[in-house]
Amino acid sequence: MRKTLKILLILAALSLTVQSLYSARIKDIATIEGVNAVQVIGYGLVSGLNNTGDNQMASFTVQSVSNLLKRFGLTIPQSNPRIRNVAAVIVTATVPAFTRKGGKIDVQVASIGDATSLQGGILMMTPLSISDGGIIGMAQGALSVSGFDVSSLGSRMSKNMVTSGRVPNGLILEKDMEAQFIKNQQIRIVLREPDFTTAINVVNAVNGVVPNSATASDAGSVLVKFPANLKKEDIVQNIARLEILPITTDPAARVVINERTGTVVVGGNVQLLPAVIAQGGLEISIQKQVIVTPPAPFTVNPPKAVETSVIKTEEPINPATALQVAGPTVQDMAAALNLLKVSPRDLISIFQALKEVGSLQGELIIQ
């Protein structure tokens, strides 16, 4: 009896371990409606460049520099000013929700003129605004460009892009980023990947903590209602409890193929039914040759060039392979596919054929 009980406990522990391996927290697969980051944008100038900025043909850069200097009581001539250490840029950032006044956010900077490099530049004070035009803060600071571009005497060596960079903690907020996530004493949990099974799993998990509070509106959202007498502080505490609840996810079976790069990614839920595959590749090689025929002796005729070509075909004969997955794991599927001994390009064609005959149990996505 004790031995049987011990075996049952071991099996229960193994099942819990397997479930934990394929489970995720609610905060990992979903978000709370209304708790969204805000994208901001602005136009500015980067100075301090080593003769790699915009040239005088970029009229907007010259006008921007002129307007900037007028604020300091300076006037520059409008006839062909040479300003090669300044570049016009677009500044963007993503501000998380609930970020308060005085918070610092990284910003991305990208050239919009003909500047060749922003290496060593300083972003001058740039106002950033949201979609409705309201300014939320100013960005300024030294650029960090993850690359280089060096040229000399016709030779050039470069790494990454040097016409864009990043200013760490460059944006200082002047307003609080508020978010409205509680409406009529209820919140909505939005799944990042809509799925009916996952939505029901979320409902069951939430109802286990707050009974009879969650309902699935559709495959992509779950509505959670709280008691009318519950304060906002208590709702926030309940949301924190809900976010860490483990959810057993059920992703769709998919095979993603990128024909441009030859990449094949097979999901863990994909199944292959038994099939027989015979794969061969036909290679055709055409080599052009030019043969010069010399003239006959004691003649004045010029040599004649005759073009010929040699065509070679090669088709390797591969034996038919029985494709049968031994188990349900990804490793078993990889072992079965490795028996084919084909290149990723050929594997793409094989997957398309397996989908046509019905052996591939999953969705085939071609990018």
Question: In the predicted model, what is the mean pLDDT of residues 3-19?
Answer: 38
- Give the separation between CA 170 and CA 95, rounded to whole angstroms: 12
**Mean pLDDT over all residues of the chain?**
80
Cross-strand partners of 291: 306
pLDDT at 7: 36
Question: In the predicted model, what is the mean pLDDT of residues 343-348?
Answer: 75
- Model confidence at 126: pLDDT above 50: yes
Show the tokens assigned to 114.
Answer: 């003909």
* Per-residue model confidence as pLDDT tens digits over 260-283: 777 788 877 787 777 777 666 555
pLDDT at 160: 72
Confidence of residue 259 (pLDDT cuts 50, 70, 90): confident
- Give the separation between CA 358 and CA 349, rounded to whole angstroms: 14
Which helix (H) or strand (E) segment holds residue 1: the answer is none
Confidence of residue 321 (pLDDT cuts 50, 70, 90): low
Q: Measure CA 224 to chain center.
A: 31
Q: Which residue has the higher pLDDT, 294 or 131?
A: 131
Q: What CATH code is assigned to 182-248?
A: 3.30.70
**CA distances to 123, 198, 287, 343 from 270, in Å:** 50, 18, 44, 20
pLDDT at 327: 57
User: Which range is least confidently modeled, 133-137, 226-230, 275-279, 351-355?
Assistant: 275-279
Q: Which residue has the higher pLDDT, 244 or 76?
A: 244
Question: In the predicted model, what is the mean pLDDT of residues 252-261?
Answer: 80
pLDDT at 21: 45
Q: ∠74-80-82 over CA atoms, to 5°?
A: 70
* Per-residue model confidence as pLDDT tens digits over 143-163: 988 876 766 666 767 667 888
- Whether 88 contacts 66, CB under 8 Å: no
Confidence of residue 6 (pLDDT cuts 50, 70, 90): very low
Cross-strand partners of 109: 91, 165
- Whether 163 contacts 119, CB under 8 Å: no
Query: Percent of the chain having pLDDT more than 90?
Result: 25
* Per-residue model confidence as pLDDT tens digits over 43-54: 999 999 988 888
Query: Percent of the chain having pLDDT more than 70?
Result: 79
- Give the separation between CA 48 and CA 174, rounded to whole angstroms: 27
pLDDT at 153: 67
User: How much helix, strand and coil, in percent to the nearest 5, is found in the chain?
Assistant: 25, 35, 40
pLDDT at 67: 85
pLDDT at 201: 92
Question: In the predicted model, what is the mean pLDDT of residues 168-195?
Answer: 90
User: 170: how many CB neighbours lie within 10 A of its CB?
Assistant: 25
- Give the separation between CA 239 and CA 245, rounded to whole angstroms: 10
Question: In the predicted model, what is the mean pLDDT of residues 197-202?
Answer: 92
- Whether 217 contacts 210, CB under 8 Å: no
User: Which range is least confidently modeled, 78-92, 135-149, 181-195, 232-246?
Assistant: 78-92
Q: CATH 3.30.70 residue ranges in the chain?
A: 182-248
Q: Is 189 helix (H, G, I), strand (E, B) or coil?
A: strand
Confidence of residue 294 (pLDDT cuts 50, 70, 90): confident
User: Which range is least confidently modeled, 77-86, 196-205, 236-245, 317-326?
Assistant: 317-326
Question: In the predicted model, what is the mean pLDDT of residues 5-33?
Answer: 58
Confidence (pTM): 0.67
* Per-residue model confidence as pLDDT tens digits over 297-311: 777 777 777 777 676
